[in-house]
Structure 1
Amino acid sequence: MAIDFHSQANRGTYASRHADDGWKAAIQRIVEPSGRRVADIGCGGGIYSRAWHELGARTVTGVDFSQAMVDAAREQAAGLTDISFRQGDATATGLPPASADVVFQRALIHHLKDYSPCVAEARRVLAPGGTLIVQDRTPDDVELPGSPEHLRGYFFECFPRLLAVETDRRPTDTAVRAALDATGFAEVEMSVLWEVRKVHQDWQELKQDLTERTGRSILHDLSDEELAGLILYIETRLPGGPIVEKDRWTMWSAVA
Structure 2
Amino acid sequence: MDFHHTKNKWSYTQRNANVTWIRTYTSLIRNHSIKQALDIGCGGAIYTKALAEMGIPFVTGVDSSEVMLEAATENCRGRKGIRFHKGDALVTGLASASCDLILERALLHHLPELQPCFSEAHRLLRHGGVFLIQDRTPEDCLLPGSPEHIRGYFFSCFPRLAEIETNRRHTSAQVIKELEGCGFNSIEKHTLWEVRQVHKTKEKLLADLHARLGRSILHALEDDELEKLVQYIDDCITVERDIVESDRWTIWKAVK
Q: Normalising TM by the smaller chain, what interval?
A: over 0.9
What is the correspondence of 1:84-99 to structure 2 with a 5 Å cutoff?
Answer: 84-99=83-98
The residue type equivalent to 1:25 in the other structure is: R
1:15 CA displacement: 1.4
2:180 aligned residue? 181
TM-score for both structures, normalised by structure 2: 0.97
1:110 aligned residue? 109
Are the counterparts in 1 of residues 33 and 100 from structure 2 also a CA contact under 8 Å?
no
2:222 aligned residue? 223
- 4+ aligned runs moved over 6 Å, structure 1: none
Q: Tell me, yes or no, if structure 1 residue 160 matches structure 2 residue 159.
A: yes
Are the counterparts in 1 of residues 189 and 251 from structure 2 also a CA contact under 8 Å?
yes
Are the counterparts in 2 of residues 137 and 250 from structure 1 also a CA contact under 8 Å?
yes
Secondary structure of the 2:250 match is strand
Aligned-pair identity (%): 48
Are the counterparts in 2 of residues 38 and 57 from structure 1 also a CA contact under 8 Å?
yes
Identify unmatched segments of 5+ residues in structure 1: none
Counterpart selection for 2:29 from 21, 28, 31 = 31
Q: Deviations over 1:31-76 (max 9, x none)?
A: 1387521100000110000000110011000001111001100000
Q: Distance in 2 between matches of 1:247 and 1:161?
A: 20
Secondary structure of the 1:23 match is helix
Q: Distance in 1 between matches of 2:241 and 2:44?
A: 29
Q: Distance in 2 between matches of 1:168 and 1:88?
A: 26
RMSD over equivalenced CA pairs, Å? 1.0
1:75 aligned residue? 74
Alignment: residue pair count:
254
The residue type equivalent to 2:76 in the other structure is: A
Worse-matched range after superposition: 26-35 or 217-226: 26-35
Q: Tell me, yes or no, if structure 1 residue 255 matches structure 2 residue 225.
A: no
2:13 aligned residue? 15
Secondary structure of the 2:145 match is coil
Distance 1:128 1:183, change over 3 A: same
TM-score for both structures, normalised by structure 1: 0.97
Identify unmatched segments of 5+ residues in structure 2: none
Q: Deviations over 1:141-192 (max 9, x none)?
A: 0010000000000000000000000001011011101110110000000010
